[in-house]
């Protein structure tokens, strides 16, 4: 007879494994199915290994500017890319092992293989279509194998994979996806990055720090197109100062491949076509949900543009089937996946006062150099929504800590509703802003007023003081500028 659970989760990324932990805490008998790697894309090929690579890049950048800090390091620093990649893979391996530990600790059964929903309440787990990818720590002991399993609730948390443009499909050799970009055997001399969203620009930043000649090609008028234009203009200037070439309103229409290089045909806004030759190209034109081969059509689960359609609690149109994380649509971010997982499971468990996920308050962070972070509406979006707004800004050039750090190129920008004082959006570029943005996220979540923010004491000297000054600026009360 099929083993029965309260909840079965398909996919062990940050959405799936966090949902499993919470389900178990709530007393639900829980299993998680994984076909490839515990921890999903985030721990193995996404958030974590990129941040490890970017940390090496950051240290190298600092070392190369040691003189600016009065330090003497002889000669130009350089990277041993094999060691940089090995460190990154090691960081992933450690966390991947940590997920195995968490499943065991929380008595969550891990079922190894590829899951397909055969009917509401039933899945069949077959042999994985994917090879088990390194880093794969010893598979946890509480593991089950192929077979049929039943559950009152099935949560789809199968994540996403790279999107490809027709005619410019990644081949793993000359045109890379994030998988190949994450562990190059050697550094290319030159690189084209197609797409300047968070994934593209982070890799562009990493490879530039490693000394690679990088050209970013973005079809939209600005890099990091979802971010506020003022912030991305500063980021662009800094990236260009570091030697990165950036083409915006530019489209790669064709790629010609040679034995060990490629030439991209780039059409710019004025209709002109230029050819750029490079050793490698990274295709970073977005991701698409893993909705195939899950039996969704057979059980009638609705999808839209490659993602499962859900309500604010992860419910699909079919009773007993839920979806969370990347497969349930944008923003495709790990913290959004985790949050949706917790909300979904708490609703299943019947907890009172479970709030639907509010996507307007999901922060976004990009860990390039300089970093970019934001939450809520950009100035353009706030205006588009017809809001009467007040905008405040504070430059890092007037912040003591930023100057002491030698990182005075940055901006904090806030947007308030003029009538109500509601904080509609906050946008930052510069040192450590990915750590700072959370202050505004908490403020927005608690519906903090502008008055309360202005009366909050920020520690000195910190870059966080730019946040308070930006708020003061919005109300004509800025102190240090
Ligand atoms: C290079 C890169 C950098 C990123 N950086 C960040 C960042 O800094 N911050 C951030 O918030 N987000 C970042 N992301 C995005 C983040 O990785 C995703 O949003 C996150 O992993 C989504 O989590 P998930 O649980 O929905 O899915 P995933 O992490 O994709 O996990 C899904 C899991 O489901 C498994 N699976 C799929 N189908 C089946 C099946 N049929 N049976 C069994 N198992 C199955 C897969 O093997 C996988 O392990 C980055 C992504 C990339 C690619």
At 1 the pLDDT is 77
Tell me how far the alpha carbon of residue 42 lies from the centroid of ligand 1, in angstroms. Answer: 5
Q: Which of 265, 427, 455, 460 is catalytic?
A: 460
70 lies in some domain: no
Tell me how far the alpha carbon of residue 437 lies from the centroid of ligand 1, in angstroms. Answer: 23
Q: What is the pLDDT of residues 402-429, one digit of tens each?
A: 999 999 999 999 999 999 999 999 999 9
Q: Rounded distance, CA 9 to CA 24, Å?
A: 12
Structure-token match 């969704």, residue found: 296
Tell me how far the alpha carbon of residue 222 lies from the centroid of ligand 1, in angstroms. Answer: 26
Give the position, in ligand 1's atom list, of the atom nearest the Cα of 115. 42
For the chain, the domain total comes to 3
Give the position, in ligand 1's atom list, of the atom nearest the Cα of 11. 34
* Same domain membership, residue 419 and residue 311: no
The vertex-264 CA angle with 263 and 267, nearest 5°, equals 145
**Residue 88 and residue 53 in contact, taking contact as beta carbons nearer than 8 Å:** yes
At 75 the pLDDT is 79
* Same domain membership, residue 310 and residue 262: no
Segment 426-440 shows an average pLDDT of 98
The last residue of a domain, from among 266, 285, 304 = 285
| CATH number, residue 259 | 3.50.50.60
59 lies in some domain: no
168 lies in some domain: no
Structure-token match 């980021």, residue found: 235
* Same domain membership, residue 292 and residue 435: no
* Same domain membership, residue 246 and residue 112: no
Could you tell me the strand order of the sheet in which 389-395 lies? 364-366, 372-376, 423-429, 411-417, 389-395
At 130 the pLDDT is 78
Residue 218 counted as an annotated binding residue: yes
Q: What is the pLDDT of residues 179-198, one digit of tens each?
A: 999 999 999 999 999 999 99
Residue 198 counted as an annotated binding residue: yes
Segment 345-373 shows an average pLDDT of 97
At 241 the pLDDT is 97
What kind and span of H or E run contains 375?
A: strand 372-376
Tell me how far the alpha carbon of residue 149 lies from the centroid of ligand 1, in angstroms. Answer: 24
The last residue of a domain, from among 253, 285, 317 = 285
Confidence of residue 135 (pLDDT cuts 50, 70, 90): very low
3-state secondary structure of 325: helix
Residue having the nearest C-alpha atom to atom 1 of ligand 1 = 46
Give the position, in ligand 1's atom list, of the atom nearest the Cα of 326. 26
169 lies in some domain: no
* Same domain membership, residue 457 and residue 390: yes
At 341 the pLDDT is 98
Confidence of residue 132 (pLDDT cuts 50, 70, 90): low
* Same domain membership, residue 396 and residue 304: no
Segment 107-121 shows an average pLDDT of 95
Query: Which residue of 110, 147, 334, 441 sits with most ligand 1 atoms within 8 Å of its CB, as the best mutation to test the pocket?
Result: 334
**Residue 264 and residue 245 in contact, taking contact as beta carbons nearer than 8 Å:** no
Give the position, in ligand 1's atom list, of the atom nearest the Cα of 366. 8
Convert 161-181 to b/e letters by CB count within 10 Å (16 or more is b). Answer: bbeebeebebeeebbbbbebb
430 lies in some domain: yes
At 61 the pLDDT is 96
* Same domain membership, residue 274 and residue 142: no
Structure-token match 């920008």, residue found: 413
Q: Give the chain's mean pLDDT.
A: 95
Q: Torsion over CA of 225, 227, 229 and 230, rounded to 10 degrees?
A: -150
Q: Rounded distance, CA 152 to CA 85, Å?
A: 42
Q: Rounded distance, CA 326 to CA 333, Å?
A: 7
Residue 62 annotated among the catalytic residues of the structure:
no
Residue 335 counted as an annotated binding residue: yes
Q: Quick one: CA dihedral 333, 334, 337, 338, positive or negative?
A: negative
365 lies in some domain: no
3-state secondary structure of 294: coil
* Same domain membership, residue 350 and residue 281: no
* Same domain membership, residue 238 and residue 204: yes
Domain range spanning residue 441?
370-474
Beta-strand (E) ranges in 229-335?
245-247, 250-257, 262-268, 273-278, 280-283, 287-289, 303-304, 307-308, 321-323
* Same domain membership, residue 342 and residue 315: yes
87-to-46, 93, 322 alpha-carbon distances in Å: 15, 10, 36
Q: What is the pLDDT of residues 206-229, one digit of tens each?
A: 999 999 999 999 999 999 999 999
242 lies in some domain: yes
Q: Enumerate residues lining ligand 1, CB below 6 A.
A: 10-16, 33-37, 40-42, 45-47, 50, 114-115, 157-160, 178, 199, 290, 294, 325-327, 332-335, 337
Confidence of residue 2 (pLDDT cuts 50, 70, 90): confident
3-state secondary structure of 88: helix
Segment 281-298 shows an average pLDDT of 97
The last residue of a domain, from among 263, 285, 307 = 285
Q: Which of 251, 227, 223 is nearest to 165 (CA)?
A: 251
Could you tell me the strand order of the sheet in which 245-247 lies? 175-176, 280-283, 190-194, 213-217, 245-247
Residues of the chain above pLDDT 70, percent: 98
Question: Which neighbouring-strand residues pair with 191?
Answer: 214, 280
333 lies in some domain: yes
* Same domain membership, residue 114 and residue 9: yes
| CATH number, residue 415 | 3.30.390.30
* Same domain membership, residue 280 and residue 298: no
Residue 63, pLDDT > 70, answer yes
């Amino acid at each position: 007879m099929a083993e029965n659970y309260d909840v079965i989760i398909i996919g062990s990324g940050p959405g799936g494994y966090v949902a499993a932990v919470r389900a178990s805490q709530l007393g639900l008998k829980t299993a998680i199915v994984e076909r490839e790697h515990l921890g999903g894309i985030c721990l193995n090929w996404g958030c974590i290994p990129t941040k490890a690579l970017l940390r090496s890049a950051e240290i190298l950048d600092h070392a190369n500017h040691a003189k600016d800090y009065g330090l003497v390091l002889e000669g130009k620093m350089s990277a041993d890319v094999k060691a940089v990649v090995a460190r990154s893979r090691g960081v992933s391996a450690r966390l991947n092992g940590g997920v195995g530990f968490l499943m065991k600790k929380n008595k969550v059964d891990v079922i190894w293989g590829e899951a397909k929903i055969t009917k509401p309440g039933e899945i069949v787990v077959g042999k994985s279509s994917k090879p088990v990818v390194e880093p794969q720590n010893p598979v946890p002991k509480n593991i089950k194998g192929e077979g049929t399993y039943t559950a009152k609730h099935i949560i789809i948390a199968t994540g996403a994979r790279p999107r490809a443009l027709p005619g410019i499909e990644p081949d793993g050799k000359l045109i890379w996806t994030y998988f190949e970009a994450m562990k190059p055997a050697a550094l290319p001399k030159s690189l084209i990055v197609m797409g300047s969203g968070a994934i593209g620009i982070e890799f562009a930043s990493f490879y530039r720090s490693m000394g690679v000649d990088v050209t970013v090609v973005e079809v939209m008028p600005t890099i990091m197109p979802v971010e506020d234009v003022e912030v991305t203009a500063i980021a662009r200037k800094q990236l260009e100062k570091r030697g990165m070439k950036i083409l915006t309103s530019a489209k790669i229409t064709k790629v010609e491949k040679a034995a060990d290089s490629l030439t991209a045909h780039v059409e710019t806004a004025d209709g002109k076509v230029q050819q750029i030759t490079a050793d490698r190209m990274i295709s970073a034109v977005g991701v698409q949900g893993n909705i195939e081969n899950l039996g969704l059509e057979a059980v009638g689960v609705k999808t839209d543009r490659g993602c499962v359609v859900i309500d604010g609690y992860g419910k699909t149109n079919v009773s007993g089937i839920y979806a969370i994380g990347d497969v349930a649509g944008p923003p495709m971010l790990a913290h959004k996946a985790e949050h949706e997982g917790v909300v979904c499971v708490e609703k299943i468990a019947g907890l009172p006062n479970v709030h639907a996920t509010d996507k307007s308050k999901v922060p976004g962070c990009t860990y390039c150099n300089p970093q970019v972070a934001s939450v809520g509406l950009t100035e353009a979006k706030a205006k588009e929504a017809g809001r009467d707004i007040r905008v405040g800004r504070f430059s890092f050039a007037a912040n003591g800590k930023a100057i002491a750090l030698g990182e005075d190129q940055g901006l904090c920008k806030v947007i308030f509703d003029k009538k109500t004082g509601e904080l509609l959006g906050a946008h930052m570029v510069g040192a450590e802003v990915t750590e700072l943005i959370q202050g505004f996220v908490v403020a927005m979540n608690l519906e903090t007023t502008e008055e309360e923010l202005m009366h909050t004491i920020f520690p000195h000297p910190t870059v966080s003081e730019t946040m308070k000054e930006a708020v003061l600026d919005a109300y004509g009360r800025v102190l240090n500028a």
